[in-house]
Structure 1
Amino acid sequence: MPGVTGGYLASVTDSSDATVEAVGKVTEALEFVERARGHLYSFHQLMGHADLLLGDACDALREAGSAAVAERLETDVVGRNVLFGRWTFQVVEEFDDSYWSVLREHERRVRDELSGGARHVHEARMKEHRRTHGRSGHEARP
């Protein structure tokens, strides 16, 4: 990664404000998609855990003498698709392959073409503007 005094700072200062803002919006959109993907993985794990618990509940219902209730739940709900033909792992994989990975590649290409590959140029400009130069805790880089 280039140092502050090298190519990185140049990309922070050389790009027009309009370009930095536009590239930043693409990156921000990706950040929201990353968050949505995290929620999708949470959904995947929560649904998987719920299905396992429901299976345990069916076993407990049988042991408690309610075999017909357990059978009904097990037959109709345990292992059921959450969407037509899909368990949650398939939803996650389809999202990753058809949307998330495509947007990640486009965001990287936008940065490469318009910001010399630098990430978070808007934030880097903001930091450079807001920090107190020469003050401990306000260093430009680690």
Structure 2
Amino acid sequence: MSTDRSRPDLDDTTVEGLGKLSEALETIEQARGQLYGFHQHSGKADLLLQDAVELLRKAGHTQLADDLDRDLVGRNVIADRWTFQIVEDYDATYWSVFRALDERARTELADGDRHVYEARMKQRERTKGHPHHEAGPVLEE
């Protein structure tokens, strides 16, 4: 890693390209978080559904409870998949590949430095010498 994370040795187009790649990865991370939220919400809904089935059965609505239990409790959310399988497939076939290629790009082009675009932005936008505008770790004053 360079001591100056704004990497003055790199051309602007490379830095901009790495910045867009980083932004894309951050968006993928958000999508993955939403997918995990979907997984957790679906699982919670299934547990609540089971409680509803039990209460409806207890209240004497046996046919409806049986239909809900048979047709909905534990049902695949898409063909052949529960939500944990969707998460696992996403991680294995897309997320992990995206992360690996992002790391490759950073390693090949910027010696592994992350957020070079943002480091340059910080250098441009901060007020040098002003409190709370310090360069911070491994950025040059």
Could you tell me the TM-score, scaled by structure 2's length? Answer: 0.93
1:14 aligns with 2:9: yes
User: Quick one: distance in 1 between partners of 2:16 and 2:111?
Assistant: 15
Moved over 3 A (4+): none
User: 29, 35, 44: which is aligned to 1:34?
Assistant: 29
Secondary structure in 1 matching 2:133 = coil
Which residue in 1 is equivalent to 2:116? 121
Q: What is the CA–CA distance in structure 2 between the aligned matches of 1:95 and 1:21, rounded to whole Å?
A: 27
What corresponds to 1:73 in structure 2?
68
> In the aligned structure 2, how far is the partner of 1:127 from the partner of 1:12?
12
- Assess if the C-alpha contact under 8 Å between 2:46 and 2:74 holds in 1: yes
Structure 2 gap ranges (5+): none
Whole-Å separation in 1 of the counterparts to 2:27 and 2:3:
25
Calculate the TM-score normalised by the size of structure 1: 0.92
How many residue pairs were aligned?
137
Contact 2:6 2:117 in 1 (8 A): no
CA RMSD of aligned residues (A): 1.2
The structure-2 alpha-carbon separation of the partners of 1:10 and 1:90, relative to structure 1 and needing over 3 Å to count, comes to: closer
5+ long unaligned stretches in structure 1: none
